[in-house]
């Protein structure tokens, strides 16, 4: 994922948390916030808490979430910043059920956000 499509600064995350909306599923929480520019690519920030597992586990789930996001990018409306939070237990579920299951969970939380 290119740097311009990522949230990296603390103030960007704070803006999404404070002024955005949220929805959740059993394994993911999604916050979103409309940016001033309408037709810019959506940006994604990932938050994977320490309760999720070791650094190796957290980094693996971040890579998987970025790849799932990339696969869904065509369906994601432009002009928004998103923060995706992985809940504890997600890495174990992905390991047991596979990457396709993770893509379905991401699609589920994105569809709830659009509703």
20: confidence class by pLDDT, cuts 50, 70, 90? very high
The pLDDT value recorded for residue 3 is 75
Asked if the structure places residue 115 within a domain, the reply is no
Please write the tens of the pLDDT for every residue from 31-49.
999 988 767 889 999 999 9
pLDDT for position 39: 73
Q: Does the pLDDT of residue 106 top 90, yes or no? A: yes
Q: What is the CATH number of the domain that holds 58?
A: 3.30.230.10
Contact 113, 84 (CB under 8 A): no
Whether 25 is in a domain gets the answer yes
Q: Is residue 32 part of a domain?
A: yes
- Compute the distance between CA of residue 59 and CA of residue 86 in angstroms, rounded to an integer: 11
Q: How far apart are the first and last CA of the chain?
A: 26
The residues, any chain, with a CB within 8 Å of residue 99's CB and separated by 6 or more, are 64, 67, 68
Residues 6+ apart with CB under 8 A from 95: none
Count how many domains the chain has: 1
Q: Which domain covers residue 66, as residue numbers?
A: 3-108
| Global pTM value | 0.90
Please tell me the predicted confidence (pLDDT) of residue 8.
84
Using the structure block, give the residue that is written with the tokens 């949220």: 22
């Amino acid at each position: 994922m290119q740097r311009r499509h990522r949230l990296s600064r603390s103030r960007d995350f704070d803006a999404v948390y404070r002024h955005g909306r949220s929805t959740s599923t059993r394994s993911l929480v999604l916050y979103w916030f409309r940016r001033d520019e309408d037709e810019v690519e959506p940006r994604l920030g990932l938050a994977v808490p320490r309760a999720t597992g070791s650094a190796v586990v957290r980094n693996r789930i971040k890579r998987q979430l970025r790849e799932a996001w990339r696969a869904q990018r065509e369906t994601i409306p432009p002009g928004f910043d998103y923060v995706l939070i992985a809940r504890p237990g997600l890495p174990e579920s992905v390991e047991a059920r596979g990457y396709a299951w993770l893509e379905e969970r991401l699609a589920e939380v994105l569809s709830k956000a659009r509703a």
